[in-house]
Amino acid sequence: MPRYKLTLEYDGAGYIGWQRQPGSRSVQQEIATALFKFCGEEIDVVGAGRTDAGVHATHQAAHIELGKDHDPFQVMQGINFYLFQDERNRIAVIDAQRAADDFHARFSATRRYYLYRIVNRRARLGLEAGRAWQIVEPLDCDAMQEAANFLIGHHDFTSFRDSACQAKSPMKTLDHLEVKRAGEEVHITAHSRSFLHHQVRIMVGTLALVGKGKWKPADVRKALEARDRAKAGLTAPPEGLYLVGVEY
């Protein structure tokens, strides 16, 4: 059966997340529904990452297998045509390619890239409401980066792992964690082969404490070494998080 790699973008608001759940709108289910209308087949849509409710994507990856050959451009156009028959959908296939038979969107991935957007201003959000986390207190990005450096590398990330995380081990290698100011926004980028459930959002919530001056950078190292979720900061809201790339 021909296999295709899809690249997707979506606004996570209004969906229960990537993974389908009975009685709820999910990104995975909406794509599967569009595929059924396109080719008349029940297709399993396998994503590179299971983004949570409210989390966005600019370059999510997925793979599908179809019963017969289709031109990749026709696959992209066909899925998008049926997706946008439902005006509620904010999902688009932005690229489709034929893939090797052994390509797997989740298990073949070698690195995932996330961006977290904070709007650091007192004025309320208009256009960016639902697409960024607003923090009104001034943030010290240099202190946040100093704290972030303690998290880079191979560690036990129990303190930055949601209690519902199903990963077999809390050990992960964080390749990159950078804090940069872009005008009134603060961008936090994180790169790793894989992440624990809510890991990026908990790291961001913890770094925000440092940025506000409530924690010192070294307190983040103490939280990491404690291996205790209660010792880290809050879980940042989902609307600021974007899956921006998957490398194979």
Question: Which residue range is the domain that position 187 belongs to?
Answer: 114-247
In the listed set 99, 127, 161, which residue is the last one of a domain according to the structure?
99
Query: ∠ CA(44), CA(70), CA(95), 5° rounding?
Result: 70
Residues 128 and 213 placed together within one structural domain of the fold: yes
Residue 101 token pair = 């038979």
Report the pLDDT value the prediction gives residue 23, as an integer from 0 to 100: 87
Which of the following is catalytic: 11, 44, 52, 142?
Answer: 52
Non-local (6+) Cβ contacts of 116 within 8 A are 133, 187, 188, 189, 190, 200, 201, 204, 236, 240, 241, 242
Residues 83 and 50 placed together within one structural domain of the fold: yes
12 in a structural domain: yes
Residues 142 and 213 placed together within one structural domain of the fold: yes
108 in a structural domain: no
- 173: domain CATH number is 3.30.70.660
Query: pLDDT tens-digit profile of 55-104?
Result: 999 999 999 999 999 999 999 999 999 999 999 999 999 999 999 999 99
CA 220 remoteness from chain centre: 22
Q: Is 102 a catalytic residue?
A: no
Residues 227 and 180 placed together within one structural domain of the fold: yes
- For the chain, the average pLDDT equals 97
The per-residue pLDDT string of the chain (248 residues; one tens digit each, 9 = 90 and over) reads 899 999 999 999 999 999 998 889 999 999 999 999 999 999 999 999 999 999 999 999 999 999 999 999 999 999 999 999 999 999 999 999 999 999 999 999 999 999 999 999 999 999 999 999 999 999 999 999 999 999 999 999 999 999 999 999 999 999 999 999 999 999 999 999 999 999 999 999 999 999 999 999 999 999 999 999 999 999 999 999 999 999 99
47 in a structural domain: yes
Q: Phi first, then psi: what are they for 158, rounded to 5°?
A: -55, -40
